[in-house]
Chain A
């Protein structure tokens, strides 16, 4: 589904990703872990097409298309979703207006008809309840004045409504208490399917207690330096990241 080959990217003329390779097949859940500054968030931004991130080498194929050749919205239309580490506040645009515009745009691109207001409102309410947010959040400005945890739940709500093929969660677990973490994990687990894949970018192993990954990768120095199964996450938790760096140097 997603194939990243030898990806190099820089931000403000600084190399962040230095030859990253990653293969994600349909239905798989991958976790990327790594120390601060290793390029974890950059990967999400690059895949979403964020301005200011320049690809200097390599290629990315998503569902048979050259991802890097597509505009940000086209990537979304194709089924790519990035849950932001720091969701953006948009005062003056209500969550409901935003969600409807988003879902309409994605459905239109896929040749599906827009939901009528009544049925969309019902779906939005259901999604809201599923992430344990009060219905009042639908009326408020997008992420405006939301707490960190509320913003993350709001990201998850969008993900549920958009039904993407590949969900990238950029440190969605950071700043969450155990209850909120379980809400997010339950949401993700409920969405797992044979045709949908996940890329969990995280600093801590904790999230993986709730969402069991098929593969765990360690990102350091802009490259994936080790891959393994779920047990790798536990090993990282016990030993930290430094043993990998030493191994690389040696």
Chain B
């Protein structure tokens, strides 16, 4: 365990007292815990063998966006860019908005620092996420995004963590804390990309106070060689709404834990996700929705397309506590296997301890729909192209649900490219 850390601890970065305290606590927790193995139920289908190597500390780089292959969606809002874990002022753009505060931990004023100390780590719990201790232990900088009470952010906020080849065989930590105060509203996009085989330990916490609405996306667009252990942990107070959308394109090892805690009555979560794997990539999504109180709703849909020798894991847990009457929760996970050697392990896990709830779940691993295929062929579209079009549609159906136009506009051509589809993508927008 300590091997993973050594270089980080030797990196002498001056940090504030509260940060140092957090690091020491994290270090103690990490050193007293064991790395999960295949015998750990939550890690049954995902081996951490790829992490059993010494990782270096990443170094700061001044490479240009072009040199490091950084291509970002044009979302017309503020953008914070980190390369190899270090903030890049030259690539970032923070627009003034009275509705929000957007600062790095290292730049937080005393009021903000107090809020960070109060909330950071309040949502994530160690037993749900062993790597959170490691994230704490090497915490150098993070992003604090606060949406002020009763305010609506004017534009989406884009947070980018990109790794260049200089971070190959290096470990990076990413940390985000979002505090959506009462009756506020905002859109935030987390974007992970990169070139090489770096290891990112990502951790984001979302706190939605009473009546807050947060539209959140987390895009994993890293290289096929990338390693990522990530966590998204959210707490929803009364009548809060979280729309959270996840995209993962492959990676050598990618594990994302999503934990949503319904803590106040009337909270709603729409959780959508897709994973696209080929080669020997491996992606593992573990989601856990905790319904602790009555009258909350969850709509969860994950879809995956897995080809070649790639493997995917989806574990969707919905836990309805005894007090959580009138819960309505739906979970769907559909998978397409496009090769005989691809593998999917999907498991919905419903634990229901209340008696007045509506709960539905379904998980499938299937081929593409024959009647759709035939329909396309009757319109002259050759079988191989029709399969591509249907694969695209299978996951694009989730993109279409997303509210942010510019995000859809960014993802659709990306998907079309991925499948090699010569689509009239974008022209449908022109038709409006």
A residues adjacent to B (C-beta < 8 A): 48-51, 71-73, 75-77, 81-82, 84, 87-88, 90-106, 109, 117-118, 120-121, 124-125, 135-136, 138-139, 141, 158, 162
Asked if B383 contacts A96 (CB within 8 A), the reply is: no
Query: Is the C-beta of B53 less than 8 angstroms from some C-beta in chain A?
Result: no
Shortest Cβ distance from A138 into B: residue = B431
Q: What are 13 of the A-B contact pairs (CB < 8 Å)?
A: A49-B377, A71-B377, A73-B377, A73-B378, A73-B380, A90-B376, A90-B390, A93-B389, A102-B381, A105-B382, A121-B430, A124-B431, A139-B428
Shortest Cβ distance from B399 into A: residue = A92
Cα(A5)–Cα(B52), bound, Å: 70
Cα(A71)–Cα(B376), bound, Å: 12
Cα(A118)–Cα(B375), bound, Å: 26
Shortest Cβ distance from B386 into A: residue = A73
Which of A51, A82, A92, A99 sits near B400, CB closer than 8 Å?
A92
Cα(A115)–Cα(B376), bound, Å: 19
- Known A50-B374, A139-B431: A93·B392 in contact at CB below 8 Å: yes
Chain B residues whose C-beta falls within 8 Å of the C-beta of A138 in the assembled complex: 428, 431
Besides A73-B382, A82-B378, A97-B423, 6 new A-B residue pairs in contact (Cβ under 8 A), listed by A number: A76-B377, A91-B393, A94-B428, A100-B423, A106-B380, A162-B379
Chain A residues whose C-beta falls within 8 Å of the C-beta of B393 in the assembled complex: 90-93, 141
Query: Is the C-beta of B425 less than 8 angstroms from some C-beta in chain A?
Result: yes
Shortest Cβ distance from B303 into A: residue = A92
Cα(A106)–Cα(B423), bound, Å: 15
Q: Which 5 A-B pairs have the closest CB atoms?
A: A92-B393, A92-B397, A100-B424, A76-B380, A93-B393
Say which size band chain B's interface belongs to.
35 or more
Chain B residues whose C-beta falls within 8 Å of the C-beta of A91 in the assembled complex: 393, 397, 400
Chain B residues whose C-beta falls within 8 Å of the C-beta of A94 in the assembled complex: 428
Chain A residues whose C-beta falls within 8 Å of the C-beta of B397 in the assembled complex: 91-92, 141
Chain B residues whose C-beta falls within 8 Å of the C-beta of A71 in the assembled complex: 377, 383
Query: Is the C-beta of B427 less than 8 angstroms from some C-beta in chain A?
Result: yes
Chain A residues whose C-beta falls within 8 Å of the C-beta of B35 in the assembled complex: none
- Known A50-B374, A141-B397: A100·B382 in contact at CB below 8 Å: no
Cα(A140)–Cα(B386), bound, Å: 18
Which of B389, B396, B423, B432 sits near A135, CB closer than 8 Å?
B432
Chain A residues whose C-beta falls within 8 Å of the C-beta of B423 in the assembled complex: 97, 100-101
Chain A residues whose C-beta falls within 8 Å of the C-beta of B394 in the assembled complex: 92
Cα(A101)–Cα(B29), bound, Å: 56
Shortest Cβ distance from A77 into B: residue = B380
B37 to chain A, nearest CB (A): 38
Chain B residues whose C-beta falls within 8 Å of the C-beta of A84 in the assembled complex: 375, 378
Cα(A103)–Cα(B424), bound, Å: 11
Which of A51, A101, A120, A139 sits near B381, CB closer than 8 Å?
A101
B208 to chain A, nearest CB (A): 29
Chain B residues whose C-beta falls within 8 Å of the C-beta of A135 in the assembled complex: 431-432
Cα(A104)–Cα(B427), bound, Å: 14
Which of A75, A76, A96 sits near B424, CB closer than 8 Å?
A96
